Amino acid sequence: MAFFDRFRKKEKDAPKAAPAKKEAKKESKPMASSKGAECVMKTPESVAAAQLKMADLGALLPGAPPNGKINLAIYWAAACGGCDVSLLDVNERILTIGDMANIVMWPIAADGKEHDIAEMADGSITVSIISGAVRNTENEHMVKLLRKKSVIVVSYGACACHGGSPALANLIPGGKDELLEYVYTKTPTSADFQAEYNSSGAVIPQSEYEAPEGLLTLPMLYDTVKTLDQVIDVDYYVPGCPPMQESISHLLKAVADFAYNGVALPPKGATVGVVSKTLCDQCPRRKEYRRITKIVEPHQIDVDPDLCLMDQGILCLGPATVGGCNARCTRIGQPCRGCYGPTPAVQEQGASALTAIASLFPVLDDDATIEEDAIADIMSTIKDPLGYFYAFTMGKSLLKRHVVEKGGK
Ligand code: SF4
Ligand code: SF4
Ligand code: SF4
């Protein structure tokens, strides 16, 4: 069987999303749950109203803005590069960005060095779009430098806004030393390498090395990974891992309106590309608030294409996540992992998600069917609960990091 045919077959066998017509019919009258309580139904209109549309980028016309091109810097701190690539999601509009702006720095795509930026006058960069968390001395130096040189700093993507996956390293009790030791001596590939090439003792990168040619230096890791706004003042936030096309279009529109038409920017501190409701309000799945007695992964069941994933026992962070991505994951049968971060009303996304899940266990007085111990058993089936509930927001959570108390663990 040809390589791609295997996937075609899988697609054919996979549960299909309900056609729009069928969904409309299903949602046309209220349904009752097995316990007789009225379900919350979402009409296609209400879901459509909660969708974030692409911004009209009409203002971003070919040709330079009336006052000349603006300066734009795009920088990645502790990032995977996905945020940089996501900027290309504006499709052919990327070509007109060159008309609007001089790209003075974009390490993944263009030349432009630290000293070029250092030589620029303060405030001469109109916008710096920074992705990634701050996890080492170089990240900190660069974001502070860009802040000094920029009028507007945008915190772009989950890692910059909430710490993202890099901030999960804050849960390592021994901090950077334990992290380096593990990565360079314990992972199978590094252990093999060390055994083969460094038989006199494992070599772990140091921040300084006196080579015959002179002193070589590397950036130093920090014990605690920080969000961008824990290090510098941030003007706007664009969450997501990476941000969706709609979010990027809203950011570009704000910048283009400002550059071409002098339109005032959004209020400082605004989060661009989100709606005022939770992800559940953007999700077309039918929510019945069924009581769950078992937690499952999507691959363990035949996922109902229309029913809320939580109702099927799949942990979904939609109730604790701000809407903006148009429910990309849940539409294809994958639970939301919360990459857009919490709603403004919530500080602890993980705790908020736990509350939503707890409300689905049958423990209310009038319908109690399972004991506390049974709930503890069910919850214990969640592998890596901190990693699940704080996959993107550990940097911003009140927990922040693992601490070792004196004399304790
Ligand atoms: S937010 Fe996601 S895509 Fe962006 S840098 Fe972090 S991990 Fe990569
Ligand atoms: S919990 Fe998840 S699957 Fe259910 S409605 Fe909310 S976002 Fe959709
Ligand atoms: S559904 Fe959740 S995890 Fe998926 S893109 Fe949206 S916010 Fe991120």
What CATH number is associated with residue 134? Answer: 3.40.50.700
pLDDT confidence of residue 2? 34
Compute, in degrees rounded to 10, the torsion defined by CA atoms 274, 169, 136, 106: -40
Closest-lying ligand 2 atom to the alpha carbon of residue 279: 7
Give dist(CA 293, CA 58) in Å, integer: 51
- Domain holding 190, by residue range, is 176-220
What's phi and psi for 151, nearest 5 deg?
-80, -45
List the structure tokens of 213: 């040619």
Per-residue confidence (pLDDT) for residue 35, from 0 to 100:
35
Specify if 402 maps to a domain.
no
Domain count, the chain: 3
**The predicted structure's pLDDT at residue 40:** 56
Answer yes or no: do 251 and 138 share one domain.
yes
Please write down the HEC assignment for all residues of the chain. CCHHHHHHHHHHHCCCCCCHHHHHHHCCCCCECCCCCECECCCHHHHHHHCCCCCCHHHCCCCCCCCCCEEEEEEECECCCHHHHHHHHHCCHHHHHHHHEEEEECCCCCCCCHHHHHHCCCCCEEEEEEECEEEEHHHHHHHHHHHHHEEEEEEECHHHHHCCHHHHHHHCCCHHHHHHHHHHHHCHHHHHHHHHHCCCCCCCCCCEEEECCEEEECCCEEEEEECHHHCCCCCEEECCCCCCHHHHHHHHHHHHHHHHHCCCCCCCCCECCCCCCEHHHCCCCEECCCCCCCCECHHHCCCCCCECCHHHCECCCHHHCECCCCCHHHHCCCCCCCCCCCCCCCCCHHHHHHHHHHCCCCCCCCCCCCCHHHHHHHHCCCCCHHHHHCCCCHHHCCCCCCCCCCCCC
Residue at 403 is within a domain: no
* Distance between CA atoms of residues 253 and 126, nearest Å: 15
Residues 334, 387, single domain; the answer is yes
Q: 312 and 186: one domain?
A: no
The residue assigned the tokens 């038989």 is: 199
Cα–Cα dist 326/280, whole Å: 10
C-alpha triplet 205, 131, 109: angle, nearest 5°: 85
- Position 141 in a domain: yes
Q: Does residue 267 form part of some domain?
A: no
Q: Establish whether residue 79 lines the binding site of ligand 1, counting it when its CB lies within 6 angstroms of any ligand atom.
A: yes
**Residue 233: exposure state from Cβ atoms within 10 A (0-12, 13-18, ≥19):** exposed
Do 126 and 84 lie in a common domain? yes
Per-residue model confidence (pLDDT) at position 53? 84
pLDDT per residue as tens digits for the range 65-79: 999 999 999 999 999
Assess whether 183 and 318 both reside in one domain: no
Q: At residue 134, what are phi and psi to the nearest 5 degrees?
A: -105, 110
Minimal-distance CA residue to ligand 1 atom 2: 241
Q: Tell the residue number behind the tokens 């953007």, with chain if given.
A: 282
* Residue 369 is assigned to a structural domain of this protein: yes
The CB of 330 under 6 Å from ligand 2? The reply is yes
Rounded Cα–Cα distance for residues 180 and 135 (Å)? 13
Q: Is there a single domain that holds both residue 213 and residue 233?
A: no
Our mutation pick for probing the ligand 3 site, out of 310, 328, 349, 389, counting the most ligand atoms within 8 A of Cβ, is: 328
Q: 304 CA distance to ligand 1 centroid (A)?
A: 30
Closest ligand to 327 CA? 3
Pocket of ligand 3 (CB under 6 A): 279, 321, 325, 327-330, 336-340
Which tokens go with 77? 């701190």
Tokens of 45: 């209109």
Say yes or no: 318 and 375 in one domain.
Answer: yes
User: Rounded CA gap, 327 and 336, in Å?
Assistant: 8
Based on the fold, state whether residues 44 and 61 are members of the same structural domain: no
CA of 309, closest atom in ligand 2: 3
**For the CA of 158, the nearest atom of ligand 3:** 8
| Among 163, 127, 314, 171, residue whose Cα is nearest residue 239 | 163
CA of 283 to the centre of ligand 3 (A): 11
- The answer to whether 273 touches 353, Cβ cutoff 8 Å, is no
Cα gap 122→146, rounded to integer Å: 9
Q: pLDDT by residue for the chain (409 residues), tens digit each?
A: 332 233 233 334 433 333 333 333 333 333 333 333 345 567 777 777 778 888 877 766 678 899 999 999 999 999 999 999 999 888 777 778 888 999 999 999 888 899 999 999 999 999 999 999 999 999 999 999 999 999 999 999 999 999 999 999 999 999 999 999 999 999 989 989 898 998 888 889 888 999 999 999 999 999 999 999 999 999 999 999 999 988 998 999 899 899 988 899 999 999 999 998 999 999 999 998 888 888 899 999 999 999 999 999 999 999 999 999 999 999 999 999 999 999 988 888 888 888 888 777 766 555 566 777 777 887 888 888 889 999 999 999 998 888 777 765 5
Nearest partner of 62 among 260, 258, 262, 265, judged by Cα: 260
CA 72 to chain centre: 23
Q: Which of 39, 315, 330 to mutate to test the pocket of ligand 2 (most atoms within 8 A of CB)?
A: 330
Number of the ligand 3 atom closest to the C-alpha atom of 330:
1
Statement to judge: residues 157 and 251 lie in one domain: yes
Ligand 1 centroid to Cα of residue 341, in Å, is 13
Task: For residue 318, give the nearest of 55, 327, 287 by alpha carbon.
Answer: 327
Query: Are residues 237 and 367 part of one domain?
Result: no
**Protein residue with least CA distance to atom 6, ligand 1:** 159
Q: Is the CB of 242 under 6 A from ligand 1?
A: yes
Q: Is residue 406 part of a domain?
A: no
